[in-house]
Amino acid sequence: MITISNQYHFHFKPYRRKFKKPLRTSHGVWKVREGIIITLRNSEGKIAQGEIAPIPWFGSEDTAEAAQFCQQQGNTITSEIITKIPTTLPACQFGFESALLSFNQEIKKVDENSLNYCYLLPTGKQVLEQEYQLKNKSSNPTFKWKIGIDETIQEIAIFKKLLVKLPHNARLRLDANGGLTIKQAQAWLEVTENNKMIEFIEQPLPPSNFQEMMVLQETYSTSLALDESVATISQLKDCYEKGWRDVFVIKSAIAGFPSHLRQFCQQHDLDLVFSSVFETSIGRQVALQLALELGNCDLGSAEALRDRAVGFSLDPWFSNY
């Protein structure tokens, strides 16, 4: 964390980007991505940008709260103020510190074509209307399918048909976004038991059911991943201290200060998957840099124990992507 206090000229601009197709999850339907681009200029005239991309239903501030913080700063902000942004504004912490850090270190652009991506599949029956052999861009292509949206019996029936359509060497992540009951989670874990194609089931239960997820993780062979439960750095630390040793999904754009995330991840042996929050290229580059530095996505071997595809799709979700 930067401690020397410097003053910067400050400007911010809200944005709204409409999804080409609304994204359905157990949280509801997401039609528009809102966020804020911030711009800092130092005394030498150098400019740096950062992105505030909240997801309030994951536990971050909402865009209105982020905009209010920005408005309170006026035309200038200091590094001291940035380092004291409260934990109730984790997306602001990420956006401001990532801009601030770029003044003090060289930011190398990530070669996105070199990464192994996880491809988000259409929800419901629509997933069966496509062919997926063309997606086979790696030795072990990875896909994600949202569950917990329709009736469990119906989704499991679709799931069984989906397995036949995917490439034989594919890996599949099932993402419930905390939308399952314990009985529904057990039904999914029973149908995925010993299925090597299933990489993990992501956040089967709400964050309030942490102990129940611990029991499920110990009872079944299928790996489980925490997502909503570890949206911020403080939540990540809490779940680790409570004994979670399976997969952690990190959305760094809403996790908080990048420096704090980096420090914790470097100090502990964590099985990490870095994931997008549908940010613009400004926040995306910072998040991908953290993924390459801290994640398990660049081990160079498909047989590696923790070879995890990054959750940053190359597919254009917005018309002005």
Q: What three-state secondary structure class fits 149?
A: coil
Q: How high is the mean pLDDT of the chain?
A: 90
Q: What predicted TM-score, i.e. pTM, was given to this entire model?
A: 0.91
Cα–Cα dist 198/17, whole Å: 32
Single-letter residue type at 129: E
pLDDT at 5: 63
How far is Cα 229 from Cα 251, in angstroms, rounded to an integer? 11
Contacts 24+ apart (CB under 8 A), 67-76: 67/12, 67/14, 67/36, 70/10, 70/12, 70/36, 70/38, 73/10, 74/10, 75/9, 75/10, 75/11, 76/7, 76/8, 76/9, 76/10
Active-site residue numbers?
146, 251
205-239 pLDDT, tens digit each = 999 999 999 999 999 999 999 999 999 999 999 99
Which tens digits make up the pLDDT trace of 84-112? 999 999 999 999 999 999 887 766 788 88
In whole angstroms, what is the distance from residue 100 CA to residue 83 CA? 10
For 139-172, the pLDDT digits (tens) are 679 999 999 999 999 999 999 999 999 998 999 9
Contact 250, 261 (CB under 8 A): yes
Greater confidence, 257 or 117?
A: 257
The position carrying tokens 């990489």 is 199
